[in-house]
């Protein structure tokens, strides 16, 4: 990174363990793209519901040449899980950005639409079916705007299709 990592903590205290975890995860992002100009991590406890307990929200803003990648995940009650999920999503966004730069993924004005046909919640993957009846695999880490456990068969999604080891797979799956 050209500019040192910036960590912003809201509504609680930054411990050395949390700072170390964030620094470690942010440092690994350079493996996926070595031209990151800036990375800013915001950790907050946005809502305090008495019946849910404290939830942690981790947002990551990554500046790369010509673009800013922003990761916003659903809040989680475990801070370390929230950090892990956000950095996993940031890694996927960086990988997608690199693929687009290399031309591995063709840019489309509008992402294709499909429907979730099968889910295996306990194993962490599922399949979507396209309007032309092709079945495409997706992993729980490919879900962008929802928690995998909250998905239901029949939900409409948009996705980016790429070549997987065993055939087509969907990345960046977004529930409509």
Which letter, b or e, does each residue of 38-65 get, where b requires 16 or more Cβ atoms within 10 Å of its Cβ?
A: ebbbbbbbeeeeeeeeebbbbbbbbbbe
Instruction: Name the band, by pLDDT with cuts 50, 70 and 90, for residue 45.
Output: confident
Q: Is residue 13 part of a domain?
A: yes
* Domain co-membership, 98 together with 35: yes
* Domain co-membership, 64 together with 117: no
User: 81: domain CATH number?
Assistant: 3.30.160.100
Tokens encoding 87 = 């950095």
Boundary-marking domain end, from 102, 126, 151: 102
Query: What's the mean pLDDT in 92-102?
Result: 87
Give the residue with greater pLDDT, 109 vs 15: 15
pTM here? 0.57
Query: What's the mean pLDDT in 113-123?
Result: 94
Q: Would you say residue 158 has pLDDT above 60?
A: yes
* Domain co-membership, 70 together with 144: no
* Domain co-membership, 96 together with 55: yes
* Domain co-membership, 123 together with 68: no
* Domain co-membership, 12 together with 80: yes
* Domain co-membership, 75 together with 152: no
Q: Is residue 81 part of a domain?
A: yes
Q: Return mean pLDDT, the chain.
A: 88
* Domain co-membership, 95 together with 122: no
Nearest to 88 by CA among 73, 104, 66: 73
Please tell me the distance from the alpha carbon of residue 161 to that of residue 106, in angstroms, as a whole number. Answer: 10
User: 146: domain CATH number?
Assistant: 2.40.50.140
Query: What's the mean pLDDT in 93-114?
Result: 78
Q: Is residue 1 part of a domain?
A: no
Tokens encoding 2 = 């050209």
Boundary-marking domain end, from 57, 80, 102: 102
Tally of structural domains, the chain: 2
- Residue ranges making up the domain that contains 133: 113-175
Boundary-marking domain end, from 102, 127, 152: 102
Q: Would you say residue 48 has pLDDT above 80?
A: no
Residue 155 has what pLDDT?
93
Residue 105 has what pLDDT?
56
Residue 11 has what pLDDT?
84
* Domain co-membership, 89 together with 135: no
């Amino acid at each position: 990174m050209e500019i040192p990592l910036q960590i912003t903590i809201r509504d609680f205290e930054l411990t050395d363990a949390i700072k170390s975890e964030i620094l470690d995860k942010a440092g690994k992002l350079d493996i996926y793209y070595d031209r990151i100009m800036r990375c800013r991590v915001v950790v907050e406890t946005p809502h305090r519901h008495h019946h849910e307990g404290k939830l942690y929200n981790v947002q990551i803003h990554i500046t790369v040449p010509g673009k800013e990648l922003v990761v916003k995940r659903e809040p989680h009650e475990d801070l370390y899980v929230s950090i892990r999920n956000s950095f996993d999503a940031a890694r996927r966004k960086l990988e997608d950005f690199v693929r687009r730069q290399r031309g591995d993924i063709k840019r489309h004005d509008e992402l294709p639409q499909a429907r979730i046909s099968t889910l295996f919640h306990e194993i962490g993957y599922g399949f979507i079916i396209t309007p032309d009846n092709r079945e495409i695999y997706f992993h729980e880490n490919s879900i962008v705007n929802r928690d995998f456990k909250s998905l239901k068969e029949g939900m409409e999604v948009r996705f980016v299709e790429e070549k997987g080891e065993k055939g087509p797979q969907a990345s960046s799956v977004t529930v409509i």
